[in-house]
């Protein structure tokens, strides 16, 4: 019988996680993700090691981000597309990035009860958004969760996020293809979609193309095609198409996936696929570096005591912001000077 530490009665070793994930063991994958999501200081080092060990086995999936306002039909679409992919033999992981779940203490996205059919598919793994921490923390956890799913053998990763606020940019920066779902007849302003988000999309799909709504959807397709015509595409070699689909009838769902495949093929040929992933990895690393440096800086005792006073002086117009920054940086450098 293996000895267990009394403080961590169920603690697993790094090699247990790694072997479990590589062997495609779902419950070990779930436990490894829980370790990565943990905010307990004692877990951070083990989590880092697990990710390091699994990293060489990651990267082999197609990563697709899906966004759109609440009610546009994201969950229903993911269920319909997901079942199609699983039945076609793909291994699908569905993740969510939802910074608001930090507040609501539970994810509103990728909710198992909303994807009942998909949860029953043996090839599918669904994981709701991590909770706790700012968007930066959620983004790191989601990115590492994605890598773990890839190491476990999932070859399609769908990342769902709600189309309000900043989370779309976060998801855009971790996927190969970004799909924006839109409603017909709601107008962009009504949908809370800023022009900036449309510019991030590799394709638009107008949902609920069924019944009485089908004609509105066709009209919206023509309108959005005109809008896109005037926008700069995210990749100069790819012009984002405007598609229509119905998750109820299944019409157009296969076509959306066909477009993802066409994009992937074209982007791999042109080198844009690898270039986008490389840029994303470096951006992510620099973003983490910025966060860590900022954290170290603002915890330095000299900075902690000097910053409020300097900020006051800046607000009172007695000191320029540039001068205040110079003083703070000088204090920081001095405190790290080995001569002091
Ligand atoms: P989400 O908030 O973006 O995840 O949207 P949901 O997937 O929860 O869907 C919102 C509402 O739209 C639900 O009442 C769905 O039943 C409905 N809905 C979703 N997809 C379709 C569709 O293809 N056709 C129609 N007519 N209704 C849909």
Q: Is pLDDT of 183 > 50?
A: yes
Residue with tokens 């309108």: 223
- 116 vs 148, more confident: 148
Tell me, using a 6 A CB cutoff, whether residue 72 lines ligand 1: yes
What tokens does 227 get? 């809008």
Q: Is pLDDT of 81 > 90?
A: yes
Q: Using the 8-state DSSP alphabet, how is residue 112 labeled?
A: G
Q: Is pLDDT of 195 > 70?
A: no
Tell me, using a 6 A CB cutoff, whether residue 205 lines ligand 1: no
Give the C-alpha distances (Å, rounded to integers) separating 122 from 62, 86, 89, 160, 165.
19, 8, 10, 20, 34
Question: Which pLDDT score, from 0 to 100, does residue 3 have?
Answer: 44
Q: Give the C-alpha separation, 196 to 321, whole Å.
A: 30
Say what angle helices 14-22 and 26-37 make with each other, to 10 degrees: 130
Mean local confidence (pLDDT), 83-90: 97
Q: Which residues contact 7 (CB under 8 A, 6 or more apart)?
A: none
Mean local confidence (pLDDT), 1-24: 74
Give the C-alpha distances (Å, rounded to integers) separating 206 from 183, 243, 272.
6, 6, 26
CA of 114 to the centre of ligand 1 (A): 10
Tell me, using a 6 A CB cutoff, whether residue 74 lines ligand 1: yes
Closest CA to 198 of 234, 162, 158: 234
Beta bridge partners of 65: 159, 178
Out of 71-75, 101-105, 143-147, pick the least confident: 101-105
Tell me, using a 6 A CB cutoff, whether residue 248 lines ligand 1: yes
Q: Domains in the chain, ordered, with CATH?
A: 1-57 (1.20.5.170), 58-269 (3.40.50.300), 283-335 (1.10.287)
Contacts 24+ apart (CB under 8 A), 48-57: 49/14, 50/14, 50/17, 50/18, 50/21, 50/148, 51/144, 51/147, 51/148, 53/14, 53/18, 54/18, 54/21, 54/22, 54/147, 54/148, 54/151, 55/147, 55/151, 57/22, 57/150, 57/151
Question: Which pLDDT score, from 0 to 100, does residue 4 have?
Answer: 42
Name the pLDDT band for 164 (thresholds 50, 70, 90): low
Q: Using the 8-state DSSP alphabet, how is residue 300 labeled?
A: S
Quick check: 67 and 158 in contact, CB under 8 A?
no
Closest CA to 77 of 279, 291, 254, 326: 254
Question: Which pLDDT score, from 0 to 100, does residue 134 have?
Answer: 61
Question: For 122-159, how does the pLDDT look when each residue is reduced to its tens digit (9 = 90+)?
Answer: 999 998 877 655 656 778 888 999 999 999 999 999 99
Q: Is pLDDT of 237 > 60?
A: yes
Mean local confidence (pLDDT), 270-276: 94
Out of 21-25, 216-220, 335-339, pick the least confident: 335-339
Question: Which pLDDT score, from 0 to 100, does residue 2 have?
Answer: 46
Beta bridge partners of 62: 156
Q: Is pLDDT of 11 > 50?
A: yes
Q: Give the C-alpha separation, 154 to 147, whole Å.
A: 10
Q: Is pLDDT of 106 > 50?
A: no
Q: Is pLDDT of 223 > 80?
A: yes
| φ and ψ at residue 90, rounded to 5 degrees | -80, 155
Residue with tokens 């994807």: 115
> What pTM value is reported for the model?
0.87
Helical residues (DSSP H) of 105-204, grouped into ranges: 116-119, 135-151, 167-172, 195-200
What whole-number percentage of the chain has pLDDT above 90?
Answer: 63
Ligand 1 pocket test target in 68, 76, 180 with most atoms within 8 Å of CB: 76
Tell me, using a 6 A CB cutoff, whether residue 252 lines ligand 1: no
Name the pLDDT band for 105 (thresholds 50, 70, 90): very low
Determine which residue's CA is closest to atom 27 belonging to ligand 1: 208
Question: Which pLDDT score, from 0 to 100, does residue 291 have?
Answer: 85
Closest CA to 195 of 238, 235, 224: 224
Q: Which residues contact 115 (CB under 8 A, 6 or more apart)?
A: 75, 78, 79, 82, 94, 126
Mean pLDDT of the chain: 87
| φ and ψ at residue 88, rounded to 5 degrees | -85, 5
- 5 vs 56, more confident: 56
Residue with tokens 């302003």: 189
Across 2-16, 38-52, 225-239, 300-314, which has the greatest mean pLDDT?
300-314
Determine which residue's CA is closest to atom 18 belonging to ligand 1: 73
- 277 vs 100, more confident: 277
């Amino acid at each position: 019988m293996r000895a267990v530490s009394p403080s961590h009665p169920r603690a697993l070793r790094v090699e247990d996680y790694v072997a479990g994930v590589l062997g495609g063991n779902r419950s070990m994958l779930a436990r490894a993700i829980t370790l990565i999501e943990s905010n307990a200081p004692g877990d951070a080092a083990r989590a880092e090691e697990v990710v390091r060990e699994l990293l060489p086995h990651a990267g082999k999936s197609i990563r697709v981000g899906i966004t759109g306002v609440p009610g546009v039909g994201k969950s229903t679409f993911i269920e319909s597309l997901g079942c199609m992919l699983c039945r076609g033999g793909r291994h699908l992981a569905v993740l969510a990035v939802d910074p608001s779940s930090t507040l609501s203490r539970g994810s509103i996205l990728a909710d198992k009860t909303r994807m009942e059919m998909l949860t029953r598919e043996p090839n599918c793994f669904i994981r709701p958004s991590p909770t706790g921490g700012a968007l930066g923390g959620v983004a790191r956890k989601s990115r590492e969760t994605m890598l773990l799913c890839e190491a476990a053998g999932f070859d399609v990763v769908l990342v769902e996020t709600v189309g309000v606020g900043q989370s779309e940019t976060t998801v855009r920066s971790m996927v190969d293809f970004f799909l924006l779902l839109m409603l017909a007849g709601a107008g962009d302003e009504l949908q809370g979609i800023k022009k900036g988000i449309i510019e991030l999309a590799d394709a638009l799909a107008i949902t609920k193309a069924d019944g009485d709504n089908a004609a509105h959807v066709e009209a919206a397709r023509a309108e959005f095609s005109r809008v896109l015509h005037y926008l700069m595409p995210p990749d100069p070699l790819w012009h984002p198409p405007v598609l229509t689909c119905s998750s109820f009838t299944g019409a157009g769902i296969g076509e959306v996936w066909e477009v993802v495949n066409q994009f992937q093929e074209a982007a791999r040929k042109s080198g844009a696929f690898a270039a986008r992933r490389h840029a994303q990895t470096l951006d992510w690393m620099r973003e983490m570096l910025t966060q860590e440096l900022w954290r170290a800086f603002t915890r330095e005792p000299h900075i902690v005591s000097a910053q409020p006073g300097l900020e006051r002086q800046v607000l009172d117009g007695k000191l320029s912001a540039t001068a205040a920054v110079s003083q703070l940086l000088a204090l920081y450098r001095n405190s790290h000077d080995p001569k002091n």
